[in-house]
């Protein structure tokens, strides 16, 4: 297993209380696979991704748990060791390329950086490598684009640069945090197709974070659904969409309008709103919005358990293979 996350907890301290952004999650990422992470805003998707890179901004911190990357615990590494992994072995693509790219440096300046820092190459040697990268992500006229600044590029082009930068050093894991949320559908499709092909070529693993159930259905091998900082369901993509077990997953799938369905019928949304992470109620976090709730759900929060051999769910109603 390339990456193994064990009981990871990332909390943000606000005054005297904690916001449990990531609360006791465990998952694995195998070599070459694409793991989809789905959830609504504020459910801890991004916090989980940032934890893997140890990029959690203060006042947040990893409170407990282990992140084993090729056997090494990332949470226990020294800064020096960490820097040799970050960007080199594990790379990240952020949602908003306008804020992730440095506005006062040209694209070329930013692209040569990983080569110069991690591979100790000279600028002269690095530049042709960068142009090759830009060609790979289908940026037309790559040579002259190297001198452009981020504001001169369109949103799609900027995200291509981000992808190029993440792929620069052939990382083993690519974490894409909502890579196409800010883009139009036609560009989204092209970029995701590109990302899929390149990761496959390099045999890299992809952690694809999104709120779009369609994207996950198309690109992910396995999916995990997050809700209020926890993983509520984890399965192979096909299983998850065919037999969703958690009421939240079912609710999500029923909430999306579909083109192929006869839609004079109404959507069935999930009632209410996601809970406040700073004061989560006791018991299941989905209790208030759940249609199948029972007394025991309020008493104690369910943990993620195996339902079938490769389908895990955190719900009291789906215990013991019922």
Stretch binding other proteins (CB under 8 A), from 6-14, 20-28, 53-61, 260-268? 260-268
Instruction: Pull the structure tokens for residue 35.
Output: 């793991």
Q: Is beta strand 205-210 parallel, antiparallel or unpaired with respect to 34-38?
A: parallel
Stretch binding other proteins (CB under 8 A), from 56-64, 153-161, 290-298, 309-317? 153-161
* Binding residue count for other proteins, defined by CB under 8 A: 44
Query: What span, in angstroms and rounded, lies between the C-alpha atoms of 57 and 11?
Result: 11
Please report whether residue 263 would count as binding other proteins according to CB under 8 A: yes
Q: Rounded to the nearest whole angstrom, what is the least distance from the CB of residue 260 to other proteins in the complex? A: 7
Site for other proteins in 211-230 (CB under 8 A): 211-218
Residue whose CB is less far from other proteins, 128 or 269: 269
Q: Rounded to the nearest whole angstrom, what is the least distance from the CB of residue 123 to other proteins in the complex? A: 29
Residue whose CB is less far from other proteins, 132 or 193: 193
Q: Is the peptide bond before 59 cis (omega within 30 degrees of 0)?
A: yes
**SS3 call for 7:** strand
25-to-69, 182, 267 alpha-carbon distances in Å: 16, 28, 31
Please report whether residue 123 would count as binding other proteins according to CB under 8 A: no
Please report whether residue 251 would count as binding other proteins according to CB under 8 A: yes
Query: What span, in angstroms and rounded, lies between the C-alpha atoms of 289 and 260?
Result: 28
- Return the closest-CA partner of residue 276 out of 7, 9, 6, 12: 12
Please report whether residue 137 would count as binding other proteins according to CB under 8 A: no
Q: Rounded to the nearest whole angstrom, what is the least distance from the CB of residue 12 to other proteins in the complex? A: 19
CB contact burial 241-259 (16+ within 10 A = b; e otherwise): eeebbbbbbbbbeeeeeee
Contact with other proteins (CB under 8 A) among 70, 73, 184, 294: 184
Contact with other proteins (CB under 8 A) among 80, 120, 151, 266: 266
Tally of residues, the chain: 322
Please report whether residue 151 would count as binding other proteins according to CB under 8 A: no
Contact with other proteins (CB under 8 A) among 28, 33, 40, 88: 40
How many CB atoms are located within 10 Å of the residue 152 CB? 12
3-state SS string over 57-106? CCCEEEEEEEEEECCEEHHHCCHHHHHHHECCCEEEECCCHHHHCCCCCC
Pattern 228-247, binding to other proteins, x per CB under 8 A?
A: ---------xx--x------
Q: Rounded to the nearest whole angstrom, what is the least distance from the CB of residue 142 to other proteins in the complex? A: 15
Q: Rounded to the nearest whole angstrom, what is the least distance from the CB of residue 185 to other proteins in the complex? A: 5
- Return the closest-CA partner of residue 320 out of 306, 300, 304: 306
Contact with other proteins (CB under 8 A) among 122, 154, 170, 291: 154
Contact with other proteins (CB under 8 A) among 9, 22, 157, 304: 157
**SS3 call for 16:** coil
Please report whether residue 149 would count as binding other proteins according to CB under 8 A: no
Backbone region of residue 285 per phi and psi (left: phi > 0; alpha: psi in -120 to 50; beta: other values): alpha
In the complex, the residues that contact other proteins under the rule CB under 8 A are: 40-41, 154, 156-157, 184-190, 192-193, 211-218, 237-238, 241, 251-260, 263, 266-271, 273-274
């Amino acid at each position: 297993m390339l990456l193994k996350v064990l009981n990871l907890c990332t909390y943000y301290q606000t005054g005297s209380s904690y916001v449990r952004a990531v609360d006791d999650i465990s998952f694995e990422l195998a070599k070459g696979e694409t793991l989809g992470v789905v959830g609504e805003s504020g459910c801890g998707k991004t916090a989980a991704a940032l934890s893997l890179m140890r990029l959690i901004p203060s006042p947040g911190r990893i409170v407990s748990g282990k992140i084993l990357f090729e056997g090494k615990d990332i949470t226990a590494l020294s800064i020096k060791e960490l820097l040799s992994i970050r960007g080199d072995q594990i790379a990240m693509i952020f949602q908003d390329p306008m804020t992730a790219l440095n506005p006062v440096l040209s694209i070329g300046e930013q692209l040569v950086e990983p080569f110069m820092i991690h591979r100790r190459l000279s600028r002269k040697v690095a530049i042709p490598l960068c142009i090759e990268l830009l060609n790979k992500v289908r940026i037309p006229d790559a040579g002259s684009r190297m001198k452009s600044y981020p504001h001169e590029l369109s949103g799609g082009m900027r995200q291509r640069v981000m992808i190029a930068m993440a792929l620069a050093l052939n990382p083993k894991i690519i974490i894409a945090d909502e890579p196409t949320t800010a883009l139009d559908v036609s560009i989204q499709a092209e970029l995701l197709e590109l990302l899929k092909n390149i990761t496959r070529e390099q045999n890299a693993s992809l952690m694809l974070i999104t709120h779009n159930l369609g994207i996950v259905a198309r690109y992910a091998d396995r999916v995990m659904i997050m809700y209020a900082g926890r993983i509520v369901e984890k399965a192979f993509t096909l299983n998850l969409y065919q037999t969703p077990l958690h009421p939240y997953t079912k609710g999500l799938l029923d909430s999306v309008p579909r083109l192929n369905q006869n839609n004079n019928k109404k959507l069935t949304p999930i009632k209410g709103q996601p809970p406040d992470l700073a004061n989560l109620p006791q018991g299941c976090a989905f209790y208030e919005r759940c249609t199948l709730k029972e007394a025991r759900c309020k008493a104690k929060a369910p943990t993620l358990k195996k339902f079938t051999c490769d389908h895990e769910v955190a719900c009291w109603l789906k215990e013991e293979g019922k």
